[in-house]
Chain A
Amino acid sequence: MGFENFGTVSFTAEAKVADFVTYLEQGKVMTTRCKNCGAEYFPPQMDCPRCLGTEAEWFELKGGAKLITYTTVQYGPSGFEDDAPYTLVIVDFADGLRTFGRLSRDIKESDIKIGMELKVAPVKQANDRISYEFQKA
């Protein structure tokens, strides 16, 4: 199982980090830390250009996260026609990792404030697709 059911539209399936999707199904949003030098990555990656290591361990993205910026998209690309409007966000975790994703539709655009506290959670979508989103902390 790879990325074929990840997000609203997927474009490719295979990757060494496909366990990301398995963890989502288990209810966790995870990313990686290089086993050799300890460098942390988001998006997750098994390969470490800093020490040339090829093994990483998974850890959960949790705890306080803060909204850095956002936009509400009115016109989506192919496959997103029925999805728009949706809000894309960049969110920083307390340990410094910067992440990207969707904001929960439960938060109205007028209630979005830069700097607001958020948390990340896996979400099941229609047609057996799976993703993650940022929700009110």
Chain B
Amino acid sequence: MTRYTVTGPVAFGDWQPGEEFEADLDPELEARALERGSISKGKHTRKKEENGDAEADRAN
């Protein structure tokens, strides 16, 4: 899962402008959406964050 933010002026999928979301977007869809500014890409989220592996998380 990757974290994204809707940066464009319109909704992306079911997410509204300014909203953050986590999704597994198709790589080509992601590239197009990033290119046109619909979304920005944040850090990868970790399923095992509760293990305290924050150091590796920050590296992302």
Partners in one complex: no
* Chain B contacts to A: CB under 8 angstroms: none
Which A residues have a C-beta under 8 Å from some C-beta of B? none
